[in-house]
Amino acid sequence: MRIPIHREGWRFIAIFVAANAVLFWLWFWAGIAFLVLTLWCVFFFRDPERTPPPGEDRLVSPADGVLLPTVDAVPPVELGLGEQPRKRLSIFMNVFDVHVNRMPVSGTVIALSYRPGKFINASFDKASEHNERMSARIRPAKSTDPDADLAVVQIAGLVARRIVCDIKEGDRVSRGARYGMIRFGSRLDVYLPPAAKIVIEDGSVTRAGETVLAELQG
The domain ranges of the chain are 7-44, 58-215
Q: Is the pLDDT of residue 190 over 70?
A: yes
State CA 38 to chain mean position distance. 23
In this structure, which topology does domain 58-215 adopt according to CATH? Glucose Permease (Domain IIA) (2.70.70)
Catalytic pick from 90, 128, 135, 186? 186
pLDDT tens-digit readout, 15-25? 999 999 999 89
d(CA 100, CA 191): 19
d(CA 190, CA 122): 14
The DSSP call for residue 100 is: E
Q: What pLDDT, on the 0 to 100 scale, is given for residue 85?
A: 94
pLDDT tens-digit readout, 98-115? 889 999 999 999 999 998
What is the chain's percent helix, strand, coil content, to nearest 5?
20, 35, 45
For the question of residue 186 being annotated catalytic, the response is yes
Helix (H) or strand (E) holding 12: helix 10-26
Task: Label residue 41 by pLDDT band (50, 70, 90).
Answer: confident
- The residue with greater pLDDT, 132 or 120, is 132
pLDDT tens-digit readout, 50-60? 999 999 899 99
